[in-house]
Amino acid sequence: MEERNEQAVDDRGTSEAGGREILKRLRDEGFESDDAKLAVALGRPVEEVQGWMADGAGEPVDDDIVMKARGIAKERGIEL
């Protein structure tokens, strides 16, 4: 499991832990800390979003979701 967390999930070299942090910050600052609202914005099931927010391994974060999160943050003026 640790090996997965050390691999980059995007072309910017973001680690999986870094991707989770981006998602948490976007949820907290852009969606009133609501997993369901973030899920709708990302077009993913709420259970998957909740898995990303879980402590420990949780659901894997991929490059597509990190790119979407960055785009939404940019649109909303949220500094990541």
Q: How many domains does the chain fold into?
A: 1
Place of tokens 């909303």: 76
Query: From CA 76, how far away is CA 57, in angstroms rounded?
Result: 28
* Domain assignment present for 65: yes
Domain that holds residue 40: 20-76
* Domain assignment present for 1: no
Residue 58 near residue 48, CB atoms below 8 Å: no
* Domain assignment present for 63: yes
Kindly give, in sequence order, each residue whose CB lies less than 8 Å from that of residue 43, ignoring residues fewer than 6 positions away: 68
Confidence category of residue 6, pLDDT binned at 50, 70, 90? low
pLDDT digits 0-9 by tens, 27-46: 999 999 999 999 999 999 99
DSSP string, 18-59: HHHHHHHHHHHHHSTT-HHHHHHHHTS-HHHHHHHHSSSS-S
Tell whether the model's pLDDT for residue 14 goes beyond 80: yes
* Domain assignment present for 47: yes
